Structure 1
Amino acid sequence: MTEALSSLAETFKNVGVSRAYGPAVTVDGEELIPVALVSFGFGGGGNSGPGPAGAAAGAGEGPAAGGGGGGFVLPLGVYCRGGDGQVSFRPNTIAVLAGLVPLVCAVGYSVRGVLRTLRRR
């Protein structure tokens, strides 16, 4: 189990700002730096004891371990520097709207709850 955790830690060692901002590229005379929302997660567990008394044959005999992980990347847009040297952010409209859906839903449910409470008084 220790080896697996060490391997996993080594894999995710470089997760951070370097994953959220991509390398600069030049397109039509503009320098572009891609920006993304990056999220990773992983977990694991183990059991070194015997299984429950009523377990099926072969189940829970000896030590067991497992783990898993996953992640996602949401491209938010690019920072661009034009020929005049001004830096601006150009959002990826579809990705930003998709990222705002949970926030809009939460606000909607909250407003609905407040309005129902006020109506009962």
Structure 2
Amino acid sequence: MSSAYEQVADRLRQFLMSHTGEVREISGKQFLPVSIVAGGLGGGEDTSADVEKPQAKGIGGGGVAVPLGVYRVDEDGDLEFQANPITFMAVAIPFVAVLGCTIRRILKVAKKKS
């Protein structure tokens, strides 16, 4: 029989990664929310043989859900993904900053070589 940690991890593994909610209908249109869900667990124990030092055990965990957007049916009846603008900005701003720094360094190196 597997330990309690393994049982919890197996159940969470089925749920974590990507998740879709229930289809919602708003003003006659159907929406399907999509998110990425991630989490982690950790635990440990000290099985010291020292009588004066008591055994210690601990477990902890955490998780996060990031809403990516929704799938919706557009006017033509086609399925369309509409991204969450806040999530898009949270990813795009650091990406653009790193890209800008990289281009600046490439130009600086190219200028020194010429």
TM-score (norm 1): 0.68
SS in 2 for 1:98: helix
Q: Label 1:115 to 1:46 Cα distance change in 2 as closer, same or farther (>3 A).
A: farther
Amino acid at match of 2:48: G
Structure 1 runs, 4 residues or longer, greater than 4 Å off: 115-121
Q: Size of the alignment, in residue pairs?
A: 110
Matched, 1:94 2:54: no
Q: Distance in 2 between matches of 1:113 and 1:45?
A: 45
Q: How much is the aligned-residue C-alpha RMSD, in angstroms?
A: 2.8
Match of 2:102 among 94, 97, 110: 110
User: Does the CA contact (< 8 Å) of 1:29 and 1:83 recur in 2?
Assistant: no
Query: Could you tell me how far 1:37 is from its partner in structure 2?
Result: 2.1
Which structure is richer in relative contact order (CA contacts within 8 A, separation 6 or more)? 1
Q: Label 1:119 to 1:33 Cα distance change in 2 as closer, same or farther (>3 A).
A: same
User: Does the CA contact (< 8 Å) of 2:16 and 2:38 recur in 1?
Assistant: no
In structure 2, runs of 5+ residues without a counterpart are none
In structure 1, runs of 5+ residues without a counterpart are 52-57
User: Does the CA contact (< 8 Å) of 1:44 and 1:66 recur in 2?
Assistant: yes
Partner of 2:77: 85
Q: Identity of aligned pairs, percent? A: 29
